[in-house]
Amino acid sequence: MALTNLGFLTVLHESSGYLGGYLVTNVWGRPLEFRLTSAVQPNRVQHILYASTLEPYICADLIGKTLVDKAAVPVQLLLTDRASVLDLRLKLECPVVWLAAADDAQAAALTERMAAPAQAGHGPLLCHPRFPDDVARTRELLGHLDVGFDLAEPFVRIREAISEARKMGVHK
C-alpha cells in the first residue's frame, strides 16, 4: 500500500476555548486541504459531568472528527501533536499517531506504543493503546516518506494559518 496523504491535526486551548486546525498534505508536505474550527468553549456543567474525559471528548470527538469528516481528501495516516486527540482513532479506520514533545513524561512511559523513535528535537511517535497493530502499520507508512520530512513542521504551518485566518476574520 502506497502512502498518498498525511493528515496533521492540532487543537489549541486558549481563553476563547478549544480551536482545531487540520492540514492534509502529500508525502512531500505540499498542502492538499486545510480546515479549521471555530472555538469550542465548554461550560461549567460540562466540566463537572465530563471530568477528566472532557478534553479528549472535545479534541477527538467534537473537533477532530468534525474536521476529518468535512475534509474532501482522505488520509492514510493522521498525526497530532496533542495526546488528547489520540481517541480520534476510535472513530477512524486509519492510524492516529501522537508526535509527543521531547520532554513529555507521559510519552516516555509509553514506549511499547512507539511507532517511530524521536526525530531530532522531537519526542517519539505513539499509537493509541487499543490499536497495537497500528505500530507496524505506521512504521510501514512512514517508510514511504522522504528521510528529511520533519513531521513537526506542518503543525507550525497550521498555527500560522490559524493566526492569519483570524486576522482575515475567517472562522470555518
Return d(Cα 58, Cα 62) in angstroms, integer.
5
Q: Which positions of the chain have pLDDT values less than 70?
A: 1-3, 105, 107-121, 170-172
pLDDT at 13: 93
Phi, psi of 25 (to 5 degrees): -125, 165
CA pair distance 98, 163, nearest whole angstrom? 23
pLDDT of residue 96: 97
For the chain, which residues make up each domain, given as ranges? 5-168
Confidence (pTM): 0.90
CATH architecture assigned to 5-168: 2-Layer Sandwich (3.30)
- Residue 89: its pLDDT value, please? 97
Distances (CA, A) of 83 to 17, 46, 164: 17, 20, 25
Residue 125 Cα distances to 59, 104, 169, angstroms: 18, 12, 34
Compute φ and ψ for 156, nearest 5 degrees: -65, -45
Identity at 111, one-letter amino acid code: T
